[in-house]
Structure 1
């Protein structure tokens, strides 16, 4: 995604706390550091957060109420599944809490950016993020007369994958690709046996282990010899999970990476 202009200080909540990886990243994209009282500890993990390099000296918390209350926040952003006892206690103490759900497509990302930007009183900044995201999506989209559809499969350890109705599915479709898991009938999240993939291999395979030096049997499945034979290394693009685990303006970068992989593969195939 193209570089954004510097964030200007505005009116609105002055001591914002985020307790969720997805809201962390949107808060970082929308607010200047002086208006952020704390983020979750996950925000600074470069393997998980697309905005980790923007955290700087912003305090990080584990998500416990005893960490948050002394910060005297005027708004706390949480996810639907953020520690419920903490959320309940903050509300009982009169702290303003905004719950933010998961998104499964780019319309959802746009709506979520606008909702959070409005709560933070930075609506113009939100529109700038959306415009940059949309420009990246437009640049990555196949031409209207290009109807070629390659199948792509994203596999996590244990053969976990994302089917129809998920953000991963929306990313794949935006790049002009067909989601292999959805094509196999999977709705939402689930598992695909290695045998199924090996017998009918996708055109592209994204194998995201994110194990950080801690190998597991589930992770080793991604290097199974049957998969290696079925999908060559040249058809295994790198699309970091941090770009599309949470929905945000950076998710368009996942589309751009997939579109580039699609175009590379198609360029090697002779048209009938």
Structure 2
């Protein structure tokens, strides 16, 4: 084994959130392991990388992977960090976010621990998305986000951030995440419905978006676009691809 191979970083991710950042920032040959969720439908890990070793928030497992840097998802690493400290292994813990600012912040956190690389996330591109919205608010198309469970999202969520950056106006004005009754959803008059998790989400006993005929008819009779669920985890780098999908759908509205 050559000196270059010995000296290369060994980056390990323990979560879907971590995977999304690692794939955007780290050279493929420096990824030692991706999360235990990397084979899930909600993962954005390319199929050719899904055979990478799997990692999770467990000190013994992480030590076995011999990492130079562990990337924990939001809220992870409580028990593992002291063990990693003892062995001189570096780690970062990503922050949870609900908008583009957190993507820039988390990217900067990783960049502090890694050498510059051509595959680094285009931070300026992300900032651009925060300033895409133009024109009077009243003239913007009204957008409704709808998940397979019948849930939706208002101000203060990453979905709302994507809608605004794409040049739309969120028809939901109540702060946070909600699951309104079907009658309320059907009574709304959006110009565009953005769906997610209809084909790639977690199974749920409450799948009104999938199973309610009235709601399905509402979607079919309204301009709609699907944003793959894998783009949303922890408002990561996929947020700006989700924004692009919504923006394109808005451009195609009559």
Q: Deviations over 1:7-32 (max 9, x none)?
A: xx9xx971221112112121122222
- Partner residue of 1:149 out of 128, 136, 140: 140
Q: Which residue is 1:58 aligned to?
A: 52
Which secondary structure state, in structure 2, belongs to the residue aligned with residue 158 of structure 1?
coil
Give the gaps of 5 or more residues in structure 2: none
- Are residues 209 and 104 of structure 1, via their aligned partners in 2, closer, same or farther at CA, if it must alter by over 3 Å? closer
- Are residues 261 and 105 of structure 1, via their aligned partners in 2, closer, same or farther at CA, if it must alter by over 3 Å? same
CA contact (8 A) 2:98 2:158 kept: yes
- Are residues 197 and 214 of structure 1, via their aligned partners in 2, closer, same or farther at CA, if it must alter by over 3 Å? closer
* 1:161 and 2:152 are equivalent in the alignment: yes
Q: Which residue is 1:4 aligned to?
A: none
- Are residues 198 and 18 of structure 1, via their aligned partners in 2, closer, same or farther at CA, if it must alter by over 3 Å? same
My pick for the range that moved more, 84-93 or 222-231, is 84-93
Q: Deviations over 1:167-218 (max 9, x none)?
A: 111000011112223x1x2x22232221211122433223323565986541
- Partner residue of 1:242 out of 215, 230, 249: 230
* 1:224 and 2:212 are equivalent in the alignment: yes
- Are residues 85 and 190 of structure 1, via their aligned partners in 2, closer, same or farther at CA, if it must alter by over 3 Å? farther
Which secondary structure state, in structure 2, belongs to the residue aligned with residue 69 of structure 1?
helix
- Are residues 165 and 92 of structure 1, via their aligned partners in 2, closer, same or farther at CA, if it must alter by over 3 Å? farther
Q: TM-score, normalised by structure 2?
A: 0.81
Q: Structure 2 CA distance, aligned partners of 1:247 and 1:216?
A: 22
Give the gaps of 5 or more residues in structure 1: 1-8, 268-272
Deviation at 1:229, TM superposition (A): 4.0
CA contact (8 A) 2:149 2:207 kept: yes
Q: Structure 1 CA distance, aligned partners of 2:196 and 2:82?
A: 35
* 1:41 and 2:29 are equivalent in the alignment: no
Q: Which residue is 1:174 aligned to?
A: 165
Which secondary structure state, in structure 2, belongs to the residue aligned with residue 261 of structure 1?
helix
Deviation at 1:96, TM superposition (A): 2.3
Q: Deviations over 1:77-125 (max 9, x none)?
A: 1022336434454345543221111122212212221221121232775
Deviation at 1:147, TM superposition (A): 5.7
My pick for the range that moved more, 164-173 or 53-62, is 53-62
Q: Deviations over 1:126-152 (max 9, x none)?
A: 3x52245456x49x9465479622222
Which secondary structure state, in structure 2, belongs to the residue aligned with residue 154 of structure 1?
strand
Q: TM-score, normalised by structure 1?
A: 0.77
CA contact (8 A) 1:25 1:43 kept: no
Q: Structure 2 CA distance, aligned partners of 1:48 and 1:32?
A: 22
Q: Which is helix-richer, 1 or 2?
A: 1
- RMSD value, Cα: 3.2
Q: Structure 2 CA distance, aligned partners of 1:148 and 1:250?
A: 27
